[in-house]
Amino acid sequence: MQTVLSILVIWTLLTAAQASAAQWRFVTEDFPPFTYPADGPARTDRGISAGGPLVEVLQAVCARLQRDCTITLYPWRRALRLAEQGQVDGIFTLVRSPQRDELFHISRMLVTSRYSVFARDDSAFVFNRPSDLAGRLVGVYGPSGTSYILSERLKAVPDVQLHLTPDNRRLLRMLQSGRFGSEGLAVLNQDVAWHLIEDEHLEGLREAGGMGPISYGIGLSRKTVSETQFEAFEDALGAAIADGTVPAILRRHQLEPAY
């Protein structure tokens, strides 16, 4: 009898360990139209379930890998901290940078968008080149990939003051209300900005010029995901692109593929 009980205990522990190993936890942010809260229960201490095209892409990849993947939406700073500390297995949307490459295995880029400069309607400002921002106060979502890229592009521009705001909705409201001054500006992802301007009914804002393309991928923690596991992830992602699964998702959401 004792032997039978021991076998049952060992079997139960092994089953639990296998189930735990098969599950990956991902985090993302409210970044429409790429990711946003899913329809369902209200916010809890564990965040809320995420929806959107990149969530659908990840779910398709996890299904091919036969992994149980949970995807939870948090404010970006918290999501990034969880991912950097290895408390979750992956994060998106991720912009490639040297610092991010040290912490994450980064997938091929999935979607391409553009950064744009936004101004108030009562400003005559037109953006053509980074030097146009000299001496100005510029709001930007951050700390984030957006603020990192903007800082890199403005290294040679004098007297630019960047104001980091941890929420794109708040950033646009601050620009609209004149918190950056009548000649203040904001730099955002173009798709995100126009989605929020329409969704939040923000009047008096306009696009003053484009800053160039930007692409996003999925990051898997180097602390919890091995190189072999990441290669399997990339293979499954490649197969989902090749058989039309990923292209169909991006077309349905009217997004431009980066691969």
Residue 221 lies in a domain: yes
Q: Are 37 and 51 in contact (CB under 8 A)?
A: yes
Helix, strand, coil percentages, rounded to 5, for the chain: 40, 30, 30
Query: Domain check: are 94 and 56 in the same one?
Result: yes
Residue 170 lies in a domain: yes
Phi, psi (rounded to 5 degrees) for 197: -60, -40
Residue 55 lies in a domain: yes
103-142: pLDDT as tens digits: 999 999 999 999 999 999 999 999 999 999 999 999 999 8
Q: Are 34 and 54 in contact (CB under 8 A)?
A: yes
Q: Are 49 and 73 in contact (CB under 8 A)?
A: yes
pLDDT greater than 90 at residue 243: yes
Residue 8 or residue 223, greater confidence: 223
Q: What span, in angstroms and rounded, lies between the C-alpha atoms of 191 and 171?
A: 15
The pLDDT of residue 143:
86
Q: How many domains in the chain? A: 2
pTM (two decimals): 0.82
Query: Domain check: are 94 and 117 in the same one?
Result: no
Query: Domain check: are 127 and 203 in the same one?
Result: yes
Q: What is the DSSP letter of 43?
A: P
CATH of the domain at 225: 3.40.190.10
The pLDDT of residue 10:
41
The pLDDT of residue 40:
53
Q: What is the mean pLDDT of the chain?
A: 90
162-211: pLDDT as tens digits: 999 989 999 999 999 999 988 999 999 999 999 999 999 999 999 999 99
Helix (H, G, I), strand (E, B) or coil at 235: helix
Residue 8 lies in a domain: no
Q: Which domain holds residue 87?
A: 24-111+216-253
